[in-house]
A and B are shown apart, each in its own frame.
Chain A
Amino acid sequence: MIGYLSQRLALAFLVCLTVSLITFFLLTSSGDVVSAIAGEEATPEQIAALRRELGLDAHWTVRYLEWLGNALRGDFGNSLFFRETVADLIMHRLPNTLQLAGMSLAVMLSLSLPLGMLAAFRPNTWVDRLALSIAVMGQAMPNFWFGLILMVVFALNLGWLPPSGSGTNWHFILPAIALGYYATPPVMRLTRAGMIEVLGTDYIRTARAKGLSTTRVLFKHALRNAIIPVVALTAVQFGNMLGGSVVIETVFGIQGVGYLAWESITRLDVPVVQAIMILVAIAYITLVLVSDVLNAWLDPKIRK
């Protein structure tokens, strides 16, 4: 298990390195930051001076190595717009994104697992069709639109929850429902499919032949085997929630990392974008690692 883990960690580090290199290269070649900052009326001398001041006159490979050296020590440089370090900027926004993603994950799991299991337990009945309709609806609705509907109904008309902002926990409920519901369908379908497959296996027949109750057969013998592919998908969906909540954060005015990423891209705030990319990459890699470890725990065949 330890050998397995260290091997996976080394791999994760290499992936992070590759991602940082690629994003650095893409960002450098995507536009000239200096002329964007200096404005249209700046003379070539002024631009050259600013370029030196920002340390952008060296070749991009040299700058990458410099950036990498600093990044490894936790220094991601300064934002080009806010006079604040990138690390501080992100650290202020991160808790909001984490809370939103965490609550969305809870919404997603509490919808997809019971619905998927119910549908699998009573396939081709009204329960199954109801679960399927709920899933299809979630897949068909754009999440910003569903977010707006939620806002209109629960915040404006009923006045139960605040419409936007990130001041209290209550502020996160509507966006978490919008984001979580959007991520539900694939997980529900995979739970259903996995459950149906497992319920038809010989070892489930054995479990029933042992005289176990239906609940025990379902939860002890079936769920653990059916859930293995679901874990990996959940990890990916959670990654999407962390890195791809830009739209929902914008709709609900949540000052999170996704919103910051979008702002920084429009302002060509390269250091911030670069840091967020790495952060998202690390988040994905960590999640995949966690799901692999979870699967190894669930499935003894992976362990060895």
Chain B
Amino acid sequence: MSKILEVENLRVDIPVGKQTLHAVRGISFSLSKGETLCVVGESGCGKSLTSLAIMGLLPSAAKRTADKLHFDGVDLLSASNRKMQKIRGNRLSMIFQEPMTSLNPAYTIGDQLMEVMLWHQNVTKAKAHERAVYLLEKVGITGAAKRMKQYPHQLSGGLRQRVMIAMSLMCGPTVIMADEPTTALDVTIQAQILLLLSELQREFEMGLVLITHDLGVVARIADRVMVMYAGEVVEQGTAKAVFEAPLHPYTRGLLECMPIPGKTKPGHHLGSIPGIVPSLIGEIAGCAFRDRCRHAREGCESFDRLRHDGKNHYWRCIMDEQETRGHLAKFTAGTEAAT
């Protein structure tokens, strides 16, 4: 499969007083056409900034560097403002975390939906209107023609996020980046929205980068999973490989935190990861997770490379494959660690 998005050694640095906060510390990944990549990790690990960095929407204080940042044959690092504007919203679109505030309160839903298509493509208003209504129906909004005339404040959060999804689809993008699109929503509709995204992704054969906390959904829709910790990728592989054999202790920790029907026994404790994320101000030497890791040992403070099992499963840990697989025998997702 051809690579549509290639990221190599992406870094995002934010000056904090005289120091620098290294929010994203050299991450690399790629996305193939029509593939779903899920990015997981706790708050503040640099997931959102990664997506904003690719979109070129970082706050002006943040500095982006990378060895390579290619999207669909375009070098985003050297692309002019004008060139970025042609890509954004058109071939590469984004869905944000905050549906309540992401729509302009002064314009109707229809106006905002049609705007992006009229801006990028040479189409008539009638055509843009037709596509907007079609997509609103597609994302499960009933009475779409009537909704077009409504303002954001007349819609619930779930509806607004559906509108945002429809908006991201208006120009038929090759890749969609969704940054925790369901965090602000009711639990009951979170999974609904994520599954909808996944369906649309398959139907329109788009690449999808989904940043999320919801491991349950990741397990259902991801082709590949990337686990981030403290601005780094700690594990990356196919969804099957990562869920069946999580090779990094942090990934195992995350999976232990997640209740699984049938496996998590009533009355038993779920797992939790002790400690807190290290400060990202200044350089971090070695493994960033070592202070919270039950397998930490001498050498962790200088170990800093990705291991590879020969089948596209990567992880960043001092333990070699053999030792790691030994720990896997005692691991069950959704329960407190045995040791």
* Among candidates B106, B119, B120, B164, residue contacting A299 with C-beta atoms closer than 8 Å: B106
* Among candidates A206, A209, A211, residue contacting B104 with C-beta atoms closer than 8 Å: A206
* Among candidates A209, A211, A212, A301, residue contacting B105 with C-beta atoms closer than 8 Å: A301
Closest residue of chain A to B95 (Cβ to Cβ) is: A209
CB-based contact B103/A206 at 8 Å: yes
CB-based contact B90/A211 at 8 Å: yes
Q: Does B228 contact A (CB under 8 A)?
A: no
Q: Does B202 contact A (CB under 8 A)?
A: no
Known interface pairs A211-B90, A299-B105, A301-B153; A206-B119 also in contact (CB < 8 Å):
no
Residues of A within 8 A of B86 (CB): 211
When chains A and B are docked, how far (Å) is the Cα of A202 from the Cα of B95?
Answer: 11
Residues of B within 8 A of A214 (CB): 81
When chains A and B are docked, how far (Å) is the Cα of A216 from the Cα of B103?
Answer: 16
A-B interface pairs (CB < 8 A), number: 70
CB-based contact B104/A212 at 8 Å: no
CB-based contact A202/B102 at 8 Å: yes
Closest residue of chain B to A208 (Cβ to Cβ) is: B57
Interface residues of B in 48-101 (CB under 8 A from A): 55, 57, 81, 84-90, 93-94, 96, 98, 101
A interface size (C-beta, 8 A): 21
When chains A and B are docked, how far (Å) is the Cα of A207 from the Cα of B98?
Answer: 14
Q: Does A224 contact B (CB under 8 A)?
A: yes
Known interface pairs A209-B93, A211-B89, A298-B106; A201-B116 also in contact (CB < 8 Å):
no
When chains A and B are docked, how far (Å) is the Cα of A249 from the Cα of B151?
Answer: 47
CB distance from B214 to the nearest CB of A (A): 21
CB-based contact B101/A201 at 8 Å: yes
Q: Does A210 contact B (CB under 8 A)?
A: yes
When chains A and B are docked, how far (Å) is the Cα of A216 from the Cα of B55?
Answer: 18
When chains A and B are docked, how far (Å) is the Cα of A202 from the Cα of B112?
Answer: 14
Interface residues of A in 280-304 (CB under 8 A from B): 298-301
1/0 per residue, CB under 8 A from B, across A182-224: the answer is 0000000000000000000111011111111110100001001
When chains A and B are docked, how far (Å) is the Cα of A152 from the Cα of B94?
Answer: 59
When chains A and B are docked, how far (Å) is the Cα of A165 from the Cα of B164?
Answer: 60
Which residue of B84, B87, B105, B153 has the most chain A CB atoms within 10 A of its CB atom? B105
B interface size (C-beta, 8 A): 29
Specify the main secondary structure of chain B where it touches its partner.
Answer: mixed
CB-based contact B151/A209 at 8 Å: no
Q: Does B115 contact A (CB under 8 A)?
A: yes
When chains A and B are docked, how far (Å) is the Cα of A208 from the Cα of B56?
Answer: 10
When chains A and B are docked, how far (Å) is the Cα of A208 from the Cα of B164?
Answer: 14
CB distance from B324 to the nearest CB of A (A): 40
Which residue of A205, A209, A213, A300 has the most chain B CB atoms within 10 A of its CB atom? A209
Q: Does A225 contact B (CB under 8 A)?
A: yes
CB distance from B82 to the nearest CB of A (A): 8
Residues of A within 8 A of B93 (CB): 209-210
* Among candidates B87, B103, B106, residue contacting A224 with C-beta atoms closer than 8 Å: B106
Residues of A within 8 A of B101 (CB): 201-203
Known interface pairs A208-B57, A211-B90, A301-B153; A203-B119 also in contact (CB < 8 Å):
no
Closest residue of chain B to A299 (Cβ to Cβ) is: B106
Known interface pairs A209-B57, A211-B89, A211-B119; A202-B106 also in contact (CB < 8 Å):
no
Closest residue of chain B to A207 (Cβ to Cβ) is: B104
6 contacting pairs across A/B (C-beta < 8 A): A205-B102, A206-B103, A206-B164, A211-B86, A212-B85, A216-B119
12 new A-B pairs (CB below 8 Å) besides A299-B106, A300-B108, A300-B153? Answer: A202-B101, A203-B102, A205-B57, A207-B104, A209-B57, A210-B89, A211-B86, A211-B90, A221-B104, A224-B106, A299-B105, A301-B153
Q: Which residues of A contact B (CB under 8 A)?
A: 201-203, 205-214, 216, 221, 224-225, 298-301
Nearest first, the 3 closest Cβ-Cβ pairs linking A and B are A211-B89, A211-B88, A210-B89
